[in-house]
C-alpha cells in the first residue's frame, strides 16, 4: 500500500503513546515525528510544515484542566495559522475538547483510540489542512498583488517588420515553459512583451507578477522576493508571501536584472536552480512553480566578461532571447502609436478629437527618440494638454528646441558617451526643478537607476 504524502507531528508526555502511534502511523504516512516536551514545539514548527498535529491536552503530572493544551494550541496557531490540530483527550475532557474546537482546534481524539479511528481522523483532516492553507496563501498573495491592481496594459501596437519578428518569437516561445530574456533599451516596452508571453501561455489564467529589481534595495531583496515570517525583522508584523510565492503557478517578470549585485545574483540563482524559497525568519523550504521572464537594457554578455554578472545565471535565464527594437528602428509604427496615445489622453483629459498634422508627423518621424516609446507617450500627453487646437503642430511637441540643443551640445568631438549622459541628466533635472521622479520618467529610467547615475557622476 502506498503511503500518503503527509507530515504528522504527535506531542504527548506519554512515551508509550508516542511509540504506539508512530509505529502505526509510519505505515500510512511518509513522515511521522513525535515529541514528548511541548517546549520544543516552536523549534519543530520553525523547521517543518506539518499537515496534522496531534496535541495532548495535559502535560503536567495529574493535570486535568486542559490549560496546557489551550496554551500550546494558541502558540501553534500563532506560528502557523493554517495548522490542523487534533486534541488528544481522555473521556472526562470531552467538554474541554469541544471548547478547544471553538478556540481553533480542528478535531479531538479520545484516548485510548482504535487505530482505524486514528487513521480515519487524520486522513479526513488532511483535507481541512489543504483548504486552510489555500486560504492563507490567498490572503498572503493578495497583499503582494495589491500593488499591481489598477494598472492597465494594452495590446502591443505596431505592424513594422521589426515588431512582426518579435511577435513571431513571442508566439513560439509562449507555448513552452522556457525561461525568456528580453533585451532592449529603456522605454521600448519590454514589460508589454513579457505580459504578451504570459497571456499566450498555458499559465494565462494564473497570476503575472512584475518585479522592478532596480527599485529594490539590497537589504529588502530577500524579504520582497522570498517573503518573511512575522517577527523576522523590526517591521515584520505579519507573515508575508514573497513575489515568487505570489507568482506560483503563474509567471514572474524580473525587470532590470542586470542591476543585481553579485551577492544577490547568487541568491537568485539558488532559488532558480532549486525551485524553492525560504521565507526570512524560517528554515522551511517552499516549492515554487513559476514561468521566469527577465529583462534588461544592460550588456549582460559584456558584464559576464568583466566579472560583473554570473555566467551560470545568464545561462539559467536566457533559454530564449528576444530583442525589442528601439523606436528609431520601427519609425513606421509611429503614426499608429500616436493615434493610440491621442485616444488615451484625449479621454483622460476630456479633450477628444485631437490629431496631428502631416508636418507634425513628418517631424516626429525624424526625431531620434532616445527615450523610445515612453518618450513618445509623454510627448503626446504634453501636446494634448498644451495644444491650443485640435490639430497638433510641431511646436506643441517642443521637439524643435530640444533637437537644436542636442545638435549644439553633441557637435563637440571631444565629448564621450559618459559626458553626454552626464550633461543630459543635468539638463533634465534642471528642467524639472530637481524633481527626481519626473526626471527619471522623462529619461526612461527608474528612480533607483537615476540615483545610481547621480552617484556615479557626482551630480
Distance CA 295, CA 25 (A): 49
Looking at the fold, whether 431 and 370 belong to one and the same domain comes out as yes
Which pLDDT belongs to residue 404? 43
Angle at 364 between CA 346 and CA 163, to 5 degrees: 85
Phi and psi torsions of 388, nearest 5°: -80, -25
Phi and psi torsions of 183, nearest 5°: -110, 145
Residue 147 lies in a domain: no
> Does the pTM of the predicted model rise above 0.85?
no
- Domain span at residue 52 reads 4-139
Domain total for the chain?
A: 3
Q: Give the SS3 label for residue 289.
A: coil
Distance CA 200, CA 90 (A): 58
**Helical pair 358-366 and 334-348, crossing angle rounded to 10 deg:** 120
In this structure, what C-alpha cell is assigned to residue 187? 522605454
Residue 17 lies in a domain: yes
Looking at the fold, whether 193 and 296 belong to one and the same domain comes out as yes
Angle at 188 between CA 183 and CA 193, to 5 degrees: 65
Looking at the fold, whether 335 and 421 belong to one and the same domain comes out as yes
In this structure, what C-alpha cell is assigned to residue 388? 491650443
Neighbours of 45 (CB within 10 A): 20
Which pLDDT belongs to residue 238? 82
Which pLDDT belongs to residue 154? 52
Name 320's Cβ contacts closer than 8 Å, sequence gap at least 6. 169, 173, 178, 179, 180, 181
Along the 459 residues of the chain, how does pLDDT read in single tens digits? 688 989 999 999 889 999 999 999 999 999 999 999 999 999 999 888 899 999 998 886 555 566 888 889 999 988 888 889 998 887 656 777 677 777 788 888 888 888 998 999 999 888 888 777 766 666 666 555 544 544 444 578 989 999 999 999 999 999 999 999 999 999 999 999 999 999 999 999 888 999 999 888 888 999 999 999 888 888 878 888 899 999 999 999 999 999 999 999 999 999 999 999 999 998 889 999 999 999 999 999 999 999 999 999 999 999 999 999 999 999 999 999 999 999 999 999 999 999 999 989 999 998 889 999 999 999 999 999 988 899 998 888 876 444 544 444 444 444 466 777 777 888 888 777 778 888 888 888 888 888 888 877 777
Looking at the fold, whether 201 and 243 belong to one and the same domain comes out as yes
Looking at the fold, whether 393 and 446 belong to one and the same domain comes out as yes
Name 102's Cβ contacts closer than 8 Å, sequence gap at least 6. none
CATH classification at residue 340? 1.10.8.60
Distance CA 169, CA 175 (A): 10
Instruction: Report yes or no: 277 and 285 within 8 Å, Cβ to Cβ.
Output: yes
Amino acid at each position: 500500500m502506498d503511503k500518503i504524502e503527509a507530515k504528522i507531528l504527535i506531542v504527548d508526555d506519554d512515551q508509550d503513546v508516542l511509540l504506539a502511534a508512530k509505529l502505526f502511523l509510519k505505515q500510512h504516512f511518509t513522515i511521522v515525528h513525535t515529541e514528548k516536551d511541548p517546549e520544543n514545539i516552536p523549534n519543530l514548527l520553525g523547521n517543518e510544515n506539518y499537515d496534522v498535529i496531534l496535541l495532548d491536552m495535559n502535560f503536567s503530572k495529574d493535570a486535568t484542566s486542559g490549560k496546557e493544551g489551550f496554551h500550546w494550541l494558541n502558540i501553534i496557531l500563532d506560528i502557523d495559522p493554517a495548522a490542523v490540530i487534533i486534541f488528544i483527550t481522555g473521556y472526562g475532557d470531552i467538554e474541554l475538547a469541544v471548547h478547544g474546537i471553538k478556540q481553533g482546534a480542528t478535531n479531538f481524539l479520545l484516548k485510548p483510540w482504535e487505530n482505524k479511528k486514528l487513521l480515519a481522523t487524520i486522513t479526513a483532516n488532511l483535507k481541512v489542512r489543504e483548504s486552510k492553507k489555500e486560504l492563507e496563501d490567498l490572503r498572503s498573495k493578495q497583499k503582494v498583488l495589491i500593488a499591481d491592481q489598477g494598472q492597465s496594459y494594452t495590446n502591443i501596437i505596431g505592424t513594422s517588420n521589426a515588431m512582426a519578428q518579435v511577435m513571431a518569437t513571442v508566439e513560439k516561445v509562449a507555448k513552452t515553459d522556457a525561461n525568456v530574456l528580453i533585451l532592449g533599451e529603456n522605454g521600448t516596452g519590454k514589460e508589454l512583451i513579457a505580459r504578451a508571453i504570459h497571456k499566450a501561455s498555458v499559465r494565462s489564467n494564473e497570476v503575472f507578477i512584475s518585479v522592478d529589481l532596480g527599485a529594490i534595495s539590497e537589504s529588502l531583496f530577500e524579504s520582497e522576493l522570498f517573503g518573511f515570517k512575522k517577527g523576522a525583522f523590526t517591521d515584520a508584523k505579519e507573515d508575508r508571501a514573497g513575489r515568487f510565492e505570489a507568482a506560483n503557478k503563474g509567471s514572474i517578470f524580473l525587470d532590470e536584472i542586470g542591476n543585481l549585485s553579485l551577492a544577490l545574483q547568487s541568491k537568485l540563482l539558488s532559488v532558480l536552480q532549486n525551485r524553492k524559497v525560504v521565507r526570512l525568519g524560517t528554515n522551511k523550504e517552499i516549492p515554487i512553480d513559476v514561468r521566469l521572464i527577465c529583462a534588461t537594457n544592460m550588456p549582460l554578455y559584456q558584464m559576464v566578461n568583466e566579472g560583473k554578472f554570473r555566467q551560470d545565471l545568464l545561462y539559467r535565464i536566457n533559454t530564449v532571447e528576444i530583442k525589442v527594437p528601439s523606436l528609431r528602428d520601427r519609425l513606421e509604427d509611429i503614426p499608429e502609436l500616436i493615434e493610440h496615445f491621442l485616444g488615451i489622453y484625449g479621454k483622460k483629459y476630456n479633450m477628444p478629437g485631437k490629431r496631428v498634422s502631416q508636418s507634425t508627423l513628418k517631424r516626429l518621424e525624424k526625431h531620434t527618440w532616445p527615450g523610445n516609446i515612453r518618450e513618445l507617450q509623454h510627448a503626446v500627453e504634453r501636446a494634448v494638454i498644451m495644444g491650443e487646437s485640435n490639430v497638433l503642430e510641431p511646436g506643441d511637441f517642443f521637439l524643435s528646441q530640444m533637437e537644436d540643443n542636442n545638435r549644439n551640445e553633441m557637435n563637440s568631438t571631444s565629448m564621450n558617451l559618459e559626458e553626454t549622459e552626464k550633461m543630459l541628466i543635468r539638463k533634465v533635472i534642471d528642467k524639472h526643478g530637481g524633481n527626481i521622479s519626473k526626471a527619471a520618467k522623462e529619461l526612461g529610467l527608474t528612480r533607483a537607476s537615476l540615483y545610481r547615475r547621480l552617484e556615479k557622476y557626482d551630480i
